Structure 1
Amino acid sequence: MSSTYEGFTAEERAAMKDHAQEMKKASRRGSRADKAAEAERDVLAKIAEMGDSDRIMAERVHTVITAGAPALAPKLWYGMPAYALNGKVVCFFKPAEKFKARYATLGFSDQAKLDDGPMWAAEFALTEVTPEVEERIGALVKQALS
């Protein structure tokens, strides 16, 4: 059994380039309020670029998170919409199209307080954002911040 390292995929390399650009752009921004407003504009612009299915879900996820958790600041993270507390990403929306995946996901970093015993989910598959899914997202984000 032989396995050879093939390196990063084109999608992974693109995400790393996105992250480098995000870091550069953030370092050049002015006041804290300017940074927050520009970061949210960047997130909304990235969402607007998405294909229909991802865009519709990302818009709804963005609305649920920003309305239900105003302490979280929208920002781009590896080219994906993310939501941070004190500069550290708590959750993010990973579009299916970006990584040629079967479904989009809502992911949570280790900053999220979703701990539930010795094992818990840190990413959730999304194929549609229904009112029930919005409710679940809201509850997960509140728990993540608790």
Structure 2
Amino acid sequence: MGEPHVVSALREKRAEISGAILELEKRMAQHRADLVHLDATLRLFAPELEPESIAPKRPPAARSHYFATGELARRCLEALRMAEGRVVAAEQIAVAAMRDKGLDPEDRKTRSDFIQRVLNTLTAQKGKGTVEKIGNGLGARWRLPAEPADHAA
């Protein structure tokens, strides 16, 4: 048999993971039961509706404890204003935010999280016409539109 402390730690980790799976399976079973009841109620009020045709909605991403409500959107817009028409990479905004928060930009996990949050924020702003996306994929850059979006329309 291998090292007793290694085996003990691995047994403990396995017990922890299998317990988490059991808990998730219980939650899934409850959600499935809730869905069956909801579908039956929908059929009472709208017999022509096929509940399975309703696309699933992804739950919202967990809020970041690094940013106050609206702070990241303000930071993104401020970075684009400071760029004075030049294009900016989401990573540049994320790294600046990390430095402002006193975090190490070399921390890959946190950096990746910040970049994804910046991208999500910029994409939401793009949908509102507040920012423009130039390019696609890893080479995508962002800037303020030449003509501000008309929010009165």
The TM-score, its normalising length taken from structure 1, stands at 0.24
The structure that is strand-richer by fraction is 1
The TM-score, its normalising length taken from structure 2, stands at 0.23
Q: Which has the higher contact order (CA 8 A, sep 6+)?
A: 1
The structure that is helix-richer by fraction is 2
- Please tell me whether Structure 1 or Structure 2 has the larger radius of gyration of its CA atoms: 2
